[in-house]
Chains A and B, each alone.
Chain A
Amino acid sequence: MPSDLLSQAGIVAAALLTLITLSYAFGDHPVFRIVLYLFIGIAAGYAGAIAIEDVILPQLVFPVLDAWNGVFQIAPADLIVRVVLSALLLLKLSPRAANLGNPVTALLAGVGAALAIGGAVQGTILPQVGAAVTTFNAAQFDLAMQGGHYGESIQVVVEGTILLLATVSTLAYFHFGATARGSQPPLRPIVVDGLAWVGSIFIVITLATLFAGVLLAALSALIERLSFLVGVANMLMGQ
């Protein structure tokens, strides 16, 4: 098929799929479902092929074929471990032998847990705690005090306090530790309860801001799709 024709067919197909997908705004229908299943099929097939092309062939199949021909790209012990682990994992396909694959999934879970811990500590907790500490801009405070701008220095302290309150009260909202007093049901300490209420307001503000961000991104996508459809309509009408 000539490449021009293929390209035009692609544009028409893309426009049709866009129209069908956008029609979901008026309600679910069988044609939209067909497009959805098509999407899942394509995405799954593409992901599988990429996994084979980028990982399984270079890390397992090619080294094994090379070893078969007497060339060792990687250490023989390493290769044996890879082959054994892969074979054990493939046993998961058989319901009767699936248990033999459990140690391999355990290895994946162990590595995942360790990386999650490392990522959470180094990538989230420490940087975010550090950023929460620096909400009090000490350099700006010193500068304002030295220059006699006491109003500005108060502003630094108030801003820092509000921002720190937002962080701490948000964390307090998720504190569910409670103690029972006599026959009364378990209650949170009154300070934590008050902080949690303040935190819920900050959380609502954050969720609203995130909602606005997602809505704006979705609106950008809608505008891009509508302009694409107008372009295709113009192309088909020969303008």
Chain B
Amino acid sequence: MRTGIRAPVSTAVAIAVGFLVLISLLIPGLEDLRNQILNWAILLAAIALLLGLANLFQVHFNKVRDREKPVYSSILLVAMLVTFGLTLWQGSQGDVPKWIFNNLQLPIETGLMAVLAVSLTIAAARFFQSRSDLMGFVFIGALFIALLAAAPVFGLELPIFTQVVGPIINSLSISAARGLLIGVGLGTLATGLRILLGADRPYGG
């Protein structure tokens, strides 16, 4: 019998497990069943992460072998293997993994965040140059008010911004953000339901 579904077993598994977890969220007394399934899912997600890392390793190993920008890929592979090996050997709280985290990973991460300040300022300036319509003015106006209301300017607090205009803009943006969040929630609900009903099959079905 042709069902029209290319992978009936996978689809049945996704629907059955999804509904079991969903029902266990709604009906009290099914917590043990839910925890059991969640434990399996956590274990499988960790293994899936390792598969992703194996794929990353393979892609960059092939690049080194094919001499396609080998320096970058070699650095990535060495950093990955050394960090992986040392963290497994000493544990995540070991001295060397902590040293790597504090002195290599953290400075780059914070530095990238700091570079974002420059990028965002340039982006705002370009936006101001290119958009001279109503929405552009609203955006730049609200941005200036939010910035002036957030912190003193050269040590001088401006009460008109911190106590009057700033809170108004803030409460308006919170209300609109509420609309955005409800929209995101409805979108998530629709996407989840499509997977549970078998309309979307992101697992290769």
Contact = CB atoms under 8 A, between A and B. Distances in A.
Interface of A: 6, 10-11, 13-15, 17-18, 20-22, 24-25, 33-56, 59-60, 78, 81-82, 85-86, 89-90, 92-93, 99, 102-122, 124-125, 128-129, 131-132, 135, 162-164, 166-171, 173-174, 199-219, 221-222, 224-226, 228
B134 to A, nearest CB: 8
A42 B79 CA distance: 5
B193 A117 contact: yes
Nearest to B189: A120
Contacts of A118: 21-22, 25
A45 B91 contact: no
Interface string B155-197: 0000000000000011111011111111111101101110110
B16 interface: yes
Q: Secondary structure of the A side of the interface? A: helix
Contacts of B75: 34, 37-38, 41
Interface string B80-95: 1111110110011000
Contact of A107 (B17, B193, B204): B17
Given A111-B38, A209-B169, A212-B150, A164 B175 contact: yes
A211 B13 CA distance: 42
B11 A55 contact: no
B: interface residue count bin: 35 or more
A110 B24 CA distance: 13
Given A48-B53, A50-B87, A113-B196, A34 B40 contact: no
Given A37-B73, A206-B177, A22 B18 contact: no
12 contacts: A14-B104, A18-B110, A21-B112, A50-B92, A53-B87, A55-B46, A109-B14, A114-B17, A116-B189, A209-B146, A210-B177, A224-B110
Contacts of A109: 14, 18, 195, 201-203
Interface string B34-48: 001111111111111
A201 B133 CA distance: 12
Interface in B68-121: 71-73, 75-85, 87-88, 91-92, 97, 99-121
B56 interface: yes
A159 B75 CA distance: 57
